[in-house]
Chains A and B, each alone.
Chain A
């Protein structure tokens, strides 16, 4: 009989390093979800790499018993791109926070997404700078009062899902740190996707921005404000599914099902080639106090970057033969003395 039990256990994926996030930090539950998921993915630790930049979230690689690199601020997607090109055989995860990914590393994030590099990006969004002790971040709301914005932040925030969709991402999802199973589902889906995948994780920073996502993620608020997207299903939420989402006037809109009828509801299609509907869904809520979708916004097939790179190498090899150094040095003509 074939042994179908997982080859590893969650504990095999933990390192001997003491986890040093603040007690109560949302990062703990994300780490647990990842360690629990790994045995289910049936992958090997030596073929898995976690790459991060700088920030609280960026300590993640030290806590996973895989290969890992704790890089520099914002550059993790670029480091991971080089690794993914050199080593298409590896499973590469990129971990970062909203400051790391959306601010200093925003350029690398969008370019890795548009290139569709085979990396799985987990964006821990807590809407604050944690490691530098509480300044507003590129996802903080306008008016946010912090140490660096005593009269309120002037900056309009990024919506990471909208940014990712605008950057031509082929896989875009969202989850939150209060629902381990949903996190595992989203991470698994990201892993299974061939190409760049980004998962925004609503994550609580209990020290500098405590309860920022509570309006959506707290148990008693979920019915009213958490919309779980499911492919092929009409988008409905509420304790009894009494609310739904329709497209009206070029925008997604929350409606009462009783008012419009169930048939009018938008049926979620992750695979829609055009990103417009996914973008509309990303704009549904203006902030963590309105009905907000989680789940897979978009999952389309698009040629993966390293695969394209490898096929160019193969094509060149087929057309020009294996590189001959002596011939190369003579390729621009020679003469004898």
Chain B
């Protein structure tokens, strides 16, 4: 609040707010949401975000298909999800209102750009009558604001053409919301000046629009109060706000440094994984080589080639790309070279829902190659955890000389959360040595190199890279003789190699699972990957309601933690919420013969806390 405020509105303290900015995909809603998130992060709130955008770059303007939204939850306590339902909706046009209204909590606030509610836009959104007048907004607190007009007036003095002026209205909305939630002005001014550096007119227009929005809140006698959300009491330290894909890219770079190996990425653009390629492409000063291949297969194949040459090799993709890479990943399993495959899971089958998350590639990661072709799987549980998961995937790949699948998803990819930055020195050393000398002798007693002679502890084969004198050897996808690696069609040798490949993966040193929540609970929720936040929040709510509930969350899906069967067996009832039709449930039932109950959701939207809470209550009640 400023001293010069023309009227004194009560300042009401809230513990949290969930705001959803919604507009046309060209309206800059992602930018607006991002900036509001940054300011709130700097104020010390805990937060979580959920961007939501159409697959089309510019879907027809004003239509439901073209609505782009950004949800941000800010709080004065620790949170793990972007919230189930927004308490505030900013609707920039009728389509945004129509597409998003059902999400808003009853009694929630709806801030509407009334200028966009003309006959044409109403028709495009499929409204038969004006929702501002026909009573469809009853039960909500509605704040009609002529955003376009005020923005145009505000920027006119800077000589901005009316048509361009309209494009600043997202900053008007940001200004208004910044006033409502008492966010400081200065960081946004800095942001505008940096973001639009060199475009003086755009800077002036956006600044003017922002101030117009901010002042509108103060002066237009529309709002009954404004709000404050105190900083959350988070562990002390330095934080940044990070989304999953950026955390993954940074994790890849970190892993390269921790392994003292150059990073190579072979990738083909695919939603929602492309941002990892973009991020890594701009980190060449870290020695990162990125290769945008001609297709998904070449992306994986190039990574195999680079791994043979001694690079820390990655390929990033989404489900359809993993399907295409299948044969190449089988080759990597057979070659026993380190390779990290990052799958940002999205809705399917086929093209499916490119911008929406699913966790339905688990079985493909486990079994999506021909024959017995075991591959370790790791899964991050939150956006920031993607950093750790990348390092862990690399650790396993290097230590065991194996391709590793990292399963993130479209939700983690674009959602963000505050991340307490790790001390670089505290990160693990994951380096391994290249093999440089003979490891056997021939019948004449001369030293020879046996490329498939395994380390007795890890069963990993030696990694000798081209350029190493005397260790010339050939590897390939044809079955190899144990030890020498020479082509072998011998039946007993094949059985042995199948067994060895399986034993190597089965014996990977994954940490035991820990039980979160009530240690003495008889009811447990089992999850993996991105459902962690919603399950964790549901556990909180159930505990507040006096229920005892435990939570077991998997970061390693293959091999499963050694104590998992034993831990799960201690509960009377286990449910498993996952964004698929029961894939982890099938794995766990098959492995441990435990009757874990599925809780499935496949509508392209992450689980809400309420959904998991109610599934848990239902399961507890069922006998």
Contact = CB atoms under 8 A, between A and B. Distances in A.
B is a partner of A: yes
Interface of A: 15, 17, 44-51, 54, 61-62, 65-72, 75, 78-87, 89-90, 107-108, 111, 309, 312-313, 315-317, 319-323, 325-326, 328-330, 332-337
B473 interface: yes
Query: What 3 A-B pairs come out closest when comparing CB atoms?
Result: A70-B476, A82-B302, A323-B286
B475 to A, nearest CB: 6
Residue of B302, B422, B424 contacting most chain A CB atoms (<10 Å): B302
Given A70-B474, A75-B301, A82-B305, 19 more contacts: A69-B305, A69-B335, A70-B476, A71-B477, A72-B330, A79-B301, A82-B264, A82-B302, A82-B304, A85-B264, A86-B310, A86-B311, A87-B466, A107-B295, A111-B293, A313-B287, A332-B246, A333-B240, A333-B241
Contacts of A51: 305
Contacts of A328: 250, 253, 283, 286
Nearest to A51: B305
A71 B334 CA distance: 10
A326 B240 CA distance: 12
A336 B476 CA distance: 52
17 contacts: A46-B469, A49-B466, A68-B472, A69-B475, A71-B304, A71-B476, A78-B297, A79-B301, A81-B298, A82-B307, A85-B306, A86-B313, A87-B309, A107-B294, A312-B284, A320-B285, A332-B241
Contact of B38 (A46, A65, A90, A333): A333
B267 to A, nearest CB: 11
A61 B477 CA distance: 13
Contacts of B302: 78-79, 81-82, 85
Contacts, number: 203
B494 interface: no
Interface residues of B, number: 72
B308 interface: yes
A94 to B, nearest CB: 10
A25 to B, nearest CB: 17
B240 A68 contact: no
Interface of B: 38, 41-42, 44, 231, 234-242, 246, 250, 253-254, 257, 262, 264, 266, 283-289, 291, 293-295, 297-298, 301-311, 313, 327-328, 330-331, 335, 420-422, 424, 465-478, 486-487
A108 B291 CA distance: 13
B262 A62 contact: no
Contact of A69 (B241, B254, B262, B476): B476
B114 to A, nearest CB: 35
A325 B424 contact: yes
A337 B235 contact: yes
Contact of B303 (A62, A82, A315): A82
B262 A86 contact: yes
A317 B285 contact: yes
Contacts of B289: 85-86, 309, 313
Contact of A83 (B234, B262, B306): B306
Nearest to B286: A323
Contact of A61 (B253, B288, B306, B476): B476
Nearest to A68: B474
Nearest to A49: B466
Contacts of B310: 86-87
Contacts of A65: 472
B434 to A, nearest CB: 12
B284 A332 contact: no
Contacts of B257: 323, 325
Nearest to A62: B474
B285 A323 contact: yes
A334 B474 contact: no
Contacts of A54: 477
B475 A70 contact: yes
A74 to B, nearest CB: 8
A213 B237 CA distance: 74
A45 B466 CA distance: 9
Contact of A72 (B328, B466, B472): B328
A46 B298 CA distance: 25
A331 to B, nearest CB: 8
A321 B284 contact: no
Nearest to B331: A72
Residue of B41, B262, B285, B328 contacting most chain A CB atoms (<10 Å): B285
